[in-house]
């Protein structure tokens, strides 16, 4: 059962609510201003696509996923990854950034090879490691989150591993692409945070 507030109590309640709303507006505005002043687009995010125009980036606002797509030799190659929190390391700490991503290579028939990968620090021209490789008869099967994603990559014969590595490199998965994935993943998180602050500010001012 609701209890009616006395006029004085109701006024105090409204005043407290207004103060909380005003505080939220002020804090959100200050944080937004700071983040906008500090924000810088990573240089590789601006140059990679210009230097590699065959890749088309899909980066919708309000989502957590980024997608690169290109067509080559009758196959569609789709690289997907999600935003990641920027790393704030101390002076004496080594930065170990890793971003998970998938590379799906599909034929017109729908047959698809999907590589489940993650970036690693630069080591002898290797900027990523493969966790597993899924092989699917159709795009629908490849999109099924319950589909078998293949054996552990490190359990495969070394020649098979080497062949898959060469296959990926031949289809555009390079150290520079990994640099772009890592930079755009943290940039996406930052841009979405700024967008979120703008929405909070707009809500409190409405």
Supply angle C-alpha 94, 98, 100, rounded to 5: 175
Residues 141-196 pLDDT 10s = 999 999 999 999 999 999 999 999 999 999 999 999 999 999 999 999 999 999 99
Global confidence as pTM: 0.85
Q: What is the helix (H) or strand (E) element at residue 19, kind and residue range? A: helix 7-38
Rounded Cα distance between 186 and 99, Å, is 9
pLDDT score for 131: 97
Q: At 2, is the pLDDT very low, low, confident or very high (cuts 50, 70, 90)? A: very low
Residues 7-65 pLDDT 10s = 555 555 555 557 888 888 899 999 999 999 999 999 998 899 999 999 999 999 999 99
């Amino acid at each position: 059962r609701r209890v009616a507030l006395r006029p004085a109590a109701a006024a105090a309640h409204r005043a407290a609510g207004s103060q909380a709303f005003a505080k939220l507006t002020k804090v959100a505005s200050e944080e937004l201003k700071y983040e906008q002043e500090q924000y810088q687009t990573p240089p590789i995010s601006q140059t990679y696509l210009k230097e590699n125009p065959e890749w088309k980036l899909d980066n919708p606002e309000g989502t957590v996923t980024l997608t690169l797509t290109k067509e080559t030799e009758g196959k569609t190659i789709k690289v997907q990854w999600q935003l990641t929190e920027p790393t704030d390391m101390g002076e004496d700490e080594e930065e170990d950034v890793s971003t998970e991503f998938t590379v799906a290579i599909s034929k017109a028939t729908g047959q698809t090879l999907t590589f489940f990968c993650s970036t690693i620090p630069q080591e002898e021209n290797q900027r990523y490691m493969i966790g597993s490789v899924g092989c699917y008869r159709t795009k629908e099967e490849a999109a099924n989150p319950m589909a078998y994603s293949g054996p552990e990559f490190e359990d495969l014969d070394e020649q098979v591993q080497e062949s898959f590595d060469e296959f990926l490199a031949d289809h555009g998965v390079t150290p520079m692409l990994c640099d772009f994935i890592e930079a755009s993943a943290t940039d996406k998180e930052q841009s979405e945070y700024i967008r979120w602050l703008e929405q909070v500010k707009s809500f409190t001012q409405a």
